[in-house]
Structure 1
Amino acid sequence: MLSVLTTLAGVWSGFALWYQLQAPAQIRTVAVAVLALAVLAALNGLWRRRWRPLLGFAVLFAGMLGWWSTLKPSHDRIWADEVARLLHIDIDGNHAHLTNVRNFDWRSETDYTVRWEDRNYDLGRLVSADLVLSYWMGPAIAHTLVSFGFDDGRYLTFSVEIRKEKGESFSALGGFFRKFEAVLVASEERDILRVRSNVRGEDVYLYRLQVEPATLRKLFAGYAGEAAKLEREPAFYNTLTSNCTTIVFDLARAINPQLPFDYRLLASGYLAEYAYDVGGLTPGFDYATLHARSRITERALAAGNDARFSELIRVGIPGTHPTPVGETSAGTPSMKK
């Protein structure tokens, strides 16, 4: 058991050094190599029943934990343009005023027009919420977004993302080791969905959620609470425990505490299947049909920068438009119980 614990402590410390030590790659490599030698010496001491090397590693690991505790998230860095501003939301009755809504015009990942705007929304006109999954690394991993629809045809999308510094790129492993801060982005769909499908080449799916009007407002207010929390105090993004999917689940569970925990909340690419199983997607269709019809990638590519982007990507998605008379889920009855 001590061998396993020593090995795990060494592996964790190695990654922590690699991702957090503010030094050139050569120095980080030397530091990790020295750490590896200390782990090997401790394991060799265990096998030989010599405790001094293990004690030495224990002291080293205690020092690592002490250093780790000094790492704090910050709002004061040189941020990438698309996450440079913090979202602020004021809700007064039915009126929601949002500051720093993103509305970029993307031509490529490096060529874009920067636009941050103030927006006003009437929460009494909130009529829908859509779950969006954008696949960028195989079928099990997707970025999760929630898009709110209003009866005037407007949509507003919320996305919890890493707050990249200029020149920084995402690392799933780095997300376990306090490499990134978290940020909540509110954006036009023509920005935040189109950049994923049309610019980054991700595969995007959009599902209509079955949510009562009163619950829609609570969910929207939950995002307002998350925005306020991040304004008050910066927080680290964590690939496992504090990411785009887990925060959505936390908000939903605050409304419905009976929602079960499920491995698909960690394997976010399967989140839509989880939503289907708990009755959260459009009824009357089996999951395979919903999944096939909810793929918007090709429609987004065809829509381009059209002002009707949000309308065009929803053509044919169950629940987002009236179903034509006589249309069924490809002749297959719903599998939902």
Structure 2
Amino acid sequence: MQKTSAAEHLRDVSRYTVQSSDVLSDMRVNVSEEGSDKVLWFLADEEIVDNFVDNATSTILWTIHRPKRGWYIRLRTPSFPPGMFIPLLPLPKTSLYHSDTALTFTCRTNPPSYSLSNSQSAAADTDFDAVHSYPPSSPPLTPTVIVSPPSPRSAHAKLEESKPIVIVPSNNASSKEPQSPTEVTPSSPKPVLKSGRKEALRPSPLPLTPMAHFLLSPDATPRAPQSVTGVSIFSRVLSALKSSTPSPSYSFTMSPITTPSATPPSSGSPRGLVPPTPAPLLTFHDRTPVWTVYASSGCIELDKMRVRSLGVETSFYIAIALTYLDFLSERDSYLAALGD
């Protein structure tokens, strides 16, 4: 034992104490020198990261980042370079779309000229299961045909080439080998030239994917009241209790907008004139039963044709919807952090 202690004494060893914090509001792991209370390093868990995973392949498609203290919501995909993310931001108070719980985000989509037709026949012929990506991949481009009009000389040459083949018979009837024709139409005509240029197929240039703005806002449509005619008194009392119980609805819509910073109309224009919000790209219908706590259920409706035309994968919009649903369920804490 003494030999071992002597060997350890000769070694140049540094010892540190690792101690985790017991404060829930500041969970971190502190590292200090042994015998000292001075913290040298600490490991802090500053973010809450949720993973949006493809169930079939167990692949992480998107990660949602939120701070433990403060306010921000950011989405990232593993293919993003460091520091790149898509934020969900509150609308400015000067915006016509502003509300306490409305958020906006911006992402790249296909240009309008490369979007699919709005006709039902075109939508039916479109394969919705096509591979999408972010940034979106443009549809296949059709080559642009560049044709130069022929010059008079080339047109005359074309007419000469279009004459029929004439075979001159041999004077010797017993000859088995026919003589060569006097005129032969070429099997592969030469391309028409103009100013030293040939007819060519040149693909049109790739368009730049524009930035599209989207609005996430709660659906203020009230739930339709249930008919109470012909039911028992007990059912009527229960229905009255349900209607009087504060049960916030988490239904919401995701709609494309021109710009989130749209300002209200000037003093000369009619008041209360709000631009109509486009048809929703995504709608979430909250179907959470009454008296349910810390749980939610519902249905997501997604416009397949418009998603296909925008060129961004479906999982992106689903990840955004789940993130906003979580925001609505904890809106009070988010709004409190935003006001700090």
- Fold conserved (TM > 0.5)? no
TM-score, structure 1 normalization: 0.17
Please identify which structure carries the higher strand content.
2
With the length of structure 2 as denominator, give the TM-score of the two structures: 0.17
Larger Rg: 2
